[in-house]
Amino acid sequence: MQSAKQRANPVMQDGRPSLSNRDPKANKYDGDLNDDLHKAFSGDFNFTGTYYHRSVESDAPNPGLTIEGLGLIGSPPSERDIAAIVSLSAPAPPKKGRKKPTNNTTVQTIVEIEPAKVSFANPAWAPFVQKVITQKVWKTLGLAPFTTRPKCELYKLLLYQKGAQGFTSSMSSTAKADGMFATVIVVLPSAFEGGQVHVSHAGATTVLDISKESTFSTSVLAWYTDVVQEVKPLTAGYRLALSYNLIHTSPDTPKPALPVMPEGPLKRFRDTLQRWKDGGYSEDRMPTPRLFAVMLEKSYGHVDFVPGLTTLKGRDAFLISNLLPIATEMGFVFCVSNLERKITGQGGSYGCDYAYNKRRRYGLCAYDFDDFEEDLEEPTDIDVVEEDEVSISNVIRITANEAVNLIILNYPLSGDALVPRKAFDGLSPDDKNPDNWLGKVEHRYYRSALLIYKQEDEISILMSIGGSYSALQSLPLTKTPSAQTRAVIDMIVSGGLHHAAAAAVLRHALLWKDHGIWNRTFPYVDLLDVVQTAIVEAKNVFGLDAILPGLSACLKRRRTLEDRLAVTKTVATHCPQGMSAPWIQSMLNDALVSYSSALAVDVPILVQLALDSKDGLAKLATIVIPNTASNHESYDFHIALSEALDARKQQMANATAKTSQHQIDTLNSLVRQSLMAAGSQWSGQVSPSGGKDSSNNKPTLSPTVLGERINQLVKLCFSTGNPETCVEIGKNVGPERQMDLLAAIKTHVGSVIPGWVKELMACVLSAYSTPALSHVPTLSWIAEALGAQHIDALISTKIPKSETYEFLFTLAKALQERRSLLLRDKNATEETKMAYRTAVYRCINLFVSQWEVGLRTRSPYEVLYGYSAGPNAKVKRILQIVEFSFDTLGRFTPCTILFQNLLHAELSTGVAKRFEDIHTPLVPLLKEVLTKHKKDILLEPFKSFFKGTICLYLGHILRAVRSAPIPALPAAIGCSCPHCKSLQAFLCNSAPSLNIQAAKDNRTHVEKFITGANVGHIITFTTVKHGVPHTLCITKRPETLAGFKWKEARLKALNFMRGIAGNDETLKKLMEERYEDVMKTLSGAKFVVGQLSIHGSAPTATATATSTTVPVRSASTHNASVAPVAGEKRKRGPTISGTK
């Protein structure tokens, strides 16, 4: 009933303004479309069933079908069984809606057997039918629980033969018995094709097809009596079916029937769509694109969506089947799709943040291995959301009769497009994927949605979310296009197409017989087999002449000449003149002159086309090679072209038939031109996509690959008879790689160096600025060709004076080896020899001055773990220079310079550190080198270096320790207990203190011996009463400790000198006038370093002073002399032969 307010105001209906009478200007609607759609779809659509049932019962028992007068029928029935049934049966009587025969045929296509003549020998059949109906069919049809088991009454046995059909006009079943509310058809195993059953209700139609499973399976179909059905003819075989009436038997309950949708929800839905259609909603709240996704009650897979409405279940099926006709009528589109939500964020249990783990230990969670293995088994929640995205995919457009896959893989939805906006709230994730190390967690929700949008917006929406191919999927294939369809096709073609969309447009063009659209679209078809099929189809529809523009455009778009030739051959097979047709020849000529792809795979076809066509070689020279030479990715193409042209040139030159010299010269010119083009792009690289890369971040080739290309170019220049082309290539490779070019040329040039190579050498030297070890052999070759003075000039003017040690050392070695050969060559001029000497010594002066520059320092890891096998880098360089002096130069000039530099460097640096790093490890290795070359330490300049090294040690390292006497110690102290033994050891070493933590009796025992030995002038002791037990702390007095330190320092000095000289006699010869100073220093005097100098030596001369074999005095450690100090008796002088 209407309220008083509604009766007073006829504009009001259901408490809302009427859409038809509302003045939008006076009373603008301010509702939200998302909310209204949610309310409309939330109406009373709770019917959980559907209007039909279909199932295949593979485990159905054999019914033991028995027909009166025939006996038992096989399953599936044999041909004899079918013939017997037909002979026994009467044709089915004509019914309303059944199609009448159009001829007087006597073949019975549908025959019926009355139920009285039918029985079932298998006692399991009746329970099976009852079970399927009361459980499966009952649930599918959405029936309420029964109080009395429903009656399933056999109505008839029906035999359908080829051509048999049920109804050709739509009609609903009629109740054949009181209480009947549904029909159940049990199709027994029988082989047939066709015979689909179309069931329709409320504007929705479903096709039930069981032919694929019919031969050996039992199928069950059912529908309400109100459902309209149509049985299509059988196209082959026969179908044997049992028709049952499903009869209501439960008292005091109404007979089941399909529910009628309440008018309220339908009206609300219709009003919402009308308001949307009329523009009644604010544009500010509209999603982009203008579609909404309504979450369905159930989730479906992509495969479930492909058939459309037939796989929807429960409320979803009921809702869509009732609303789809209204939406279609009002100009709206329904689609079903998968709906996915993905949330990514930081989890609460993983990652490297500090947090409490399950055992309440605070720390880095990702590395708490006590709990890590257990934590891995537990998914985690998301504490901090970083990304939240909802997307649709697998979109299927549905209508009452068909479903169309729009090919949309994944498209993110805006927040306003999901109905309701918080549809996922309260739902649990279907997947939880934690990343245990990074602390990331991903939650995924898998649901399904009903998409709705206006029909007029469909193309723009599909173009936006799926591209042109998705839009094309929505267009019907008709012979006569609508204005809208033609406009859409024209828009899509004008915007450019990819392969799949182009193939789809071609289907429309063929149906419309529109060769204009076909010609515009055909060039975008990529796959060669599709191209060939499309040409055949178009020729049959349009004729060959009509599609020539499309064919020509297609050839220009083909990337490779191989593809172009394949397309041309396909066309030629449909042309009477074949490949010789003028327009085909014209297309091939166009393919040649327009070629710019620069692909190596095209070279064989390109060369063949050039040779076969008129003026083809000239076009290569004037058009193709110049055009491709500007392509930065054309190196491989021009290399392949050079090789192919040279191979053809050699073939012509070796042919028995007379060949024009002009043509051979032309080919050779083309080879040279191709090599120069390759040289201009020698550093270019093909992009990863295989095509041109227009980005600024192009990939760069490795130095190894660049070097290989230079070698390849030079090799081709020489093998094709164009060696001087190397000069032009040198201009392209640049100064940085010109030395590599000369190195490659060297492998192809004999002992007589051509003039053009010498000119190239001079050019390379003039631009040289980046020295490298790999260049040394080439520089040595240049010195041999042009003279060493050119290398000397290069060293003095172009080579940096720092960070070039390795280069200069290697170059000096190479030049000296060449100089050694010249010294033995009687034909070599003095001027040539002197030029080499000057260059060698210039290198020596420079690399010796850099001996400790540019060295790799040891990493903290190497220092920490002692990974220093062999000498360090500086010592290695010193030994390298020494070996160079011995083995290569034959003179010790480099050693003289080096040792002078080394000794004077110590005066300005920390001497102790320099000795630790250089002198101490160097001395034994240097002596090994001298021994290997049968020399001793008295050979200059080694004698001067060793002498200076000892002076530096005594003057800076030993001098740093103050000399002091060691007081006399008692012969023995204490007993043999562990504590007394540790006390005796302490009194004999330089340790400053000794702590004995022991019980009181043990401490008192040690104190008694200390007091009794009268050593109070040497040590002190006290008891520290912290800790249990207490600690006896014994400490040496400062003067005592100083004596021990001097003793150790003096012993180290003796050992160092012993490591150099070996014995006193050699030490005297080594130190000469400083020997007495050395002895005084070991006795406590201060050593003055004085002037250090390095004396040179004659080339590889043996030192005049040699080691003596006279025995020297030695003394034990216990009787070592000490420095004379006040209050101590002077003892015998020290020697280095013993262990004093």
Label each residue of 894-958 as H, E or C: HHHHHHHHHHHHHCCCCHHHHHHHHHHHHHHHHHHHHHHCCCCCCCCCHHHHHHHHHHHHHHHHH
Tell me how far apart the alpha carbons of residues 997 and 1034 are, in angstroms, rounded to a whole number.
11
Task: Write the DSSP symbol of residue 559.
Answer: S
DSSP labels for 209-222?
--GGGTTT-EEEEE
Tell me how far apart the alpha carbons of residues 292 and 416 are, in angstroms, rounded to a whole number.
8
Tell me how far apart the alpha carbons of residues 235 and 164 are, in angstroms, rounded to a whole number.
8
> Which helix (H) or strand (E) is 223 found in, with range?
strand 218-224
Determine what percent of the chain is predicted with pLDDT higher than 90: 44
Question: In 10 A of CB 989, how many CB atoms?
Answer: 12
Report how far apart, in Å, the C-alpha atoms of 176 and of each of 20, 64, 183, 258 are: 46, 26, 10, 18
Residue 899's nearest CA partner among 957, 949, 966 is 949
Taking 50 as the threshold, does the pLDDT of residue 26 lie above it?
no
Residue 408's nearest CA partner among 397, 418, 398, 395 is 395
pLDDT digits (tens, 9 = 90+) for 793-851: 999 999 999 999 999 999 999 999 999 999 999 999 999 999 999 999 999 999 999 99
pLDDT digits (tens, 9 = 90+) for 1031-1072: 999 998 888 888 888 888 899 999 999 999 999 999 999 999
Structure tokens at 263: 């008018």
pLDDT of residue 989: 85
In this structure, of 203-212, 285-294, 957-966, the range with the lowest mean pLDDT score is 957-966
Structure tokens at 762: 């001079």
Tell me how far apart the alpha carbons of residues 807 and 822 are, in angstroms, rounded to a whole number.
23
Report how far apart, in Å, the C-alpha atoms of 250 and of each of 146, 259, 534, 684 are: 6, 18, 65, 87
The mean pLDDT of 619-623, rounded to a whole number, is 92
pLDDT of residue 690: 46
Structure tokens at 402: 């068909």
pLDDT digits (tens, 9 = 90+) for 728-770: 999 999 888 999 999 999 999 988 999 999 999 999 999 998 9
pLDDT digits (tens, 9 = 90+) for 249-267: 887 666 787 776 666 788 8
Residue 105 pLDDT grade (very low, low, confident, very high; cuts 50, 70, 90) = very low
Q: Tell me which amino acid residue 596 is.
A: S
Report how far apart, in Å, the C-alpha atoms of 207 and of each of 2, 143, 230, 259, 396 are: 44, 22, 9, 21, 17
Tell me how far apart the alpha carbons of residues 262 and 43 are, in angstroms, rounded to a whole number.
9
At residue 65, the 3 state secondary structure works out as strand
- For residue 223, report the phi and psi dihedrals to the nearest 5 degrees: -160, 155
Tell me how far apart the alpha carbons of residues 797 and 769 are, in angstroms, rounded to a whole number.
9
Across the chain, mean pLDDT equals 82
Tell me how far apart the alpha carbons of residues 942 and 383 are, in angstroms, rounded to a whole number.
74
Residue 45 pLDDT grade (very low, low, confident, very high; cuts 50, 70, 90) = low
pLDDT of residue 741: 95
CB 916 within 8 A of CB 1030: no
At residue 441, the 3 state secondary structure works out as strand
The mean pLDDT of 284-303, rounded to a whole number, is 88
Distance of CA 780 to the CA centre of its chain: 46
Tell me how far apart the alpha carbons of residues 540 and 512 are, in angstroms, rounded to a whole number.
14
